[in-house]
Amino acid sequence: VVTLLAELISIGTELLLGEIIDSNAAFLAQQLKARGVALHWKTVVGDNLGRACEALERALGRADLVIVGGGLGPTDDDLTREAIAAVVGETPVIDEGYLAQLRAFFESRGRHMPAQNSKQAWLLPSSEALANPIGTAPGWLVRPASHPGKMIVALPGPPTEMKRMWREQLLGRIAWPVAGFYSRTLRTIAIGESHVTELLGALTQAANPSVATYARRDGVHVRIAASAPSQDLASVLAAPVIEQVEASLSRYIYGYDDDSLAQVVGNLLKANTQSVAAIESLTGGLLLDELTGIAGASAYVVGGAVTYTDQMKVQFGVNPATIAAHGAISRETALEMAEAARSRFGSTWGLATTGVAGPDPSEGKAVGTVYIAIAGPMGSHASELKLIGERRTIKERTVFALLGLLWRNLRGEAQ
């Protein structure tokens, strides 16, 4: 078994001071784990040559693969190349081919290349350039003569450039301990994480394939991951476990991997040639925002309204007596709002939200008391939710709970 020990160094004063979050390191750590690479240390260091060198030296002393992120830009505080050159004791030389490419990049934008950008065309005698088709600076893969058997990788800071370089340039250049990795994420709605864990039982205790649950704003995700000598074998290993998870959670699984609930619901509406409209109070338009976040949503989203005051709810069709008797935050009002959405906008389905986003209670109802309602061809239905979290969280959870309700109605297994 090949073992490989990696270390991550993120360079940037913005990272150090907490102005941006080190999400690149999180991505890389997950990627390394998936390939069987051990990671013992991760360092964040500011834009400082001496300290960057110190971090690099220390990492080279204890890891086989050192991945440095950021600091590949053209400015004086972009020092990653300088630091690597110093630590491996090599002198950078300008690669004329890259320099010509850089010049062409600027010229294609009608600009002259500033002189300082020429350092982005540097290479070391022991470094290989990693192409960066969506940015200016290539990355580096260094196999330094000064540290036999070790590798240093330099990746750009901007996450899209970094990820693309990682996938397209690096994955194929390094002999990873785990050649085959397979993972699948099952996305559920209308079930809590503890209930999911309970239904999965002993499945979550196995190491390979592993089964892990994540509570996300759009429901609980269940990730099944397997490692094996090849990707095909890994997927074969994962298959029966995926089936077991599907069997345990079938009523709640709306999609896989990158599927979104709004997309899944949209596809069902389109397939049924049905439409939807919403009258929102609590969610203030967030529900329609989520529904219309999908390309082609005009095929099934008719429209909607945000009725935040009682008066506006009445204007859109809620009976004032209902509000007087039960309050604007009530099952009864939610139902009438959903029915009004359906009749006013002439859609197959009408959706509605009302509730207390906090931080203060309202109408004597506790923060997180939410009513969602759906009106459709078979009648209407409202549910009470008791949500926890701050305003934004409560609003977002409401949106996904209601999309989940619509999804279940569209599958014909309502309420």
Q: If binding is defined by CB under 6 A, does position 165 make contact with ligand ATP?
A: no
Judged by beta carbon, residue 44 or residue 403, the one nearer ligand ATP is 44
Site residues (CB under 6 A) for ligand ATP, limited to 334-393: none
| Contact status, residue 70 vs residue 10, Cβ threshold 8 Å | yes
Minimal distance, residue 137 CB to ligand ATP, in Å: 6
Cα separation of 135 and 102, whole Å?
A: 10
**Dihedral Cα 173, 175, 178, 181, nearest 10 deg:** 10
Rounded Cα gap, residues 6 and 66, in angstroms: 6
Q: Exposed, middle or buried, 29 (CB in 10 Å: 0-12/13-18/19+)?
A: middle
Compose the 2-21 pattern: x for residues touching ligand ATP by CB under 6 A, - for all others.
--------x-x-xx----x-
For residues 317 and 352, the answer to whether their CB atoms sit within 8 Å is no
- Residue 404 contact among ligand ATP, Mg ion, none, beta carbon within 5 to 8 Å by kind: none
218 lies in the site for Mg ion, by CB under 5 A: no
156 forms part of the interface with ligand ATP (CB under 6 A): yes
Shortest separation between residue 75's beta carbon and Mg ion, angstroms:
6
| Ranges within 71-130 binding ligand ATP (CB under 6 A) | 71-73, 78
Cα–Cα dist 382/396, whole Å: 18
Closest alpha carbon to 228 in 185, 184, 178: 178
CA–CA gap between residue 310 and residue 327 (Å, rounded): 9
Positions of E strands within 189-336: 210-216, 219-228, 253-256, 276-280, 301-306
Minimum CB separation from ligand ATP for residue 33, in Å?
17
Closest separation in Å from C-beta 294 to ligand ATP: 27
Judged by beta carbon distances under 5 to 8 A according to partner kind, the member of Mg ion, ligand ATP, none in contact with residue 224 is none
Size of the site for Mg ion (CB under 5 A): 2
Nearer to Mg ion, 78 or 332 (CB): 78
Q: Does 70 bind ligand ATP (CB under 6 A)?
A: yes
Residues lying near ligand ATP in the complex (CB under 6 A)? 10, 12, 14-15, 20, 22-25, 69-73, 78, 137, 156-159
